[in-house]
Amino acid sequence: MQLWVGLGNPGAKYAGNRHNIGWMAVDRIAEDHGFAPWRSKFQGKVTEGVIGGEKVLLLKPETFMNLSGQSVGEAMRFYKLDSTDVTVWHDELDLAPAKVRVKAGGGHAGHNGLRSIHQHIGPHYDRVRLGVGHPGHKDRVAGYVLSDFAKADADWLDDVLRGLSDGAPQLAKGDGGKFLNAVALRTAPPRSSTSKPKAPNRREEAAPAAEEPSEDTRSALQKLADKFR
């Protein structure tokens, strides 16, 4: 079994926050892949299902972000999982909006949810880093991540969530590259190779060049003879 954890804060006022993109991701996956209804357990909400032939438990800790590790540790111990069976989906300030990266292990980079998880299960878990951009100054970070996505973000955010869901079976199989390709097909789809070239504007079409008369090489006698033919 794999444990996929979406980070966020509980309550309606936080639902649209940038900090809650991890919750949004697992919600979309659960909906698209026919998971069971969410139920309360492990100080959060959980649901089980099968993705890519792998059994996956989705968890949304409801301890608030700073204590996320309590919920994750409890679920991991209950199912006797190793930290390497855990994948955490979280907002990432160091990535531009709509950018997604996967990472195995590493530091928490000051993210309070990851910091708490480090304290409870160690650093050796996988992450799906979901770019939300940076406000430009560290003093503005708290207000930025606890603010809702702007209306202008709606299209790319929906594309990212669809892409994450599309690629979930590949991630479950351990193929991070194909997972990221699925996201890219939503966020930066290739141009169709079957599209017809634009028809030229008739005004722009060049008129056929007039045929230049060929040089007359006849002799004076020949010209005179041709007149009477």
Residue ranges with strand state E in the chain: 2-6, 39-41, 44-51, 54-61, 86-92, 100-104, 126-131
Q: Which residues pair with 102 in a beta bridge?
A: 128
Q: Alpha-carbon distance 152 to 179, whole Å?
A: 26
Q: Alpha-carbon distance 69 to 151, whole Å?
A: 31
Q: Which of 19, 90, 111, 118 is catalytic?
A: 19
* Residue 19 designated active-site: yes
Which of 58, 73, 59 lies closest to 121 in space, CA to CA? Answer: 73
Tokens of 117: 């998880």
Q: Alpha-carbon distance 123 to 86, whole Å?
A: 11
73 Cβ neighbours under 8 A, 6+ residues apart: 117, 120, 121
CB 100 within 8 A of CB 16: no
Query: What are the phi and psi torsion angles at 21 (to 5°)?
Result: -65, -25
Which of 112, 6, 118 lies closest to 62 in space, CA to CA? Answer: 6
Q: Which residues are catalytic?
A: 19
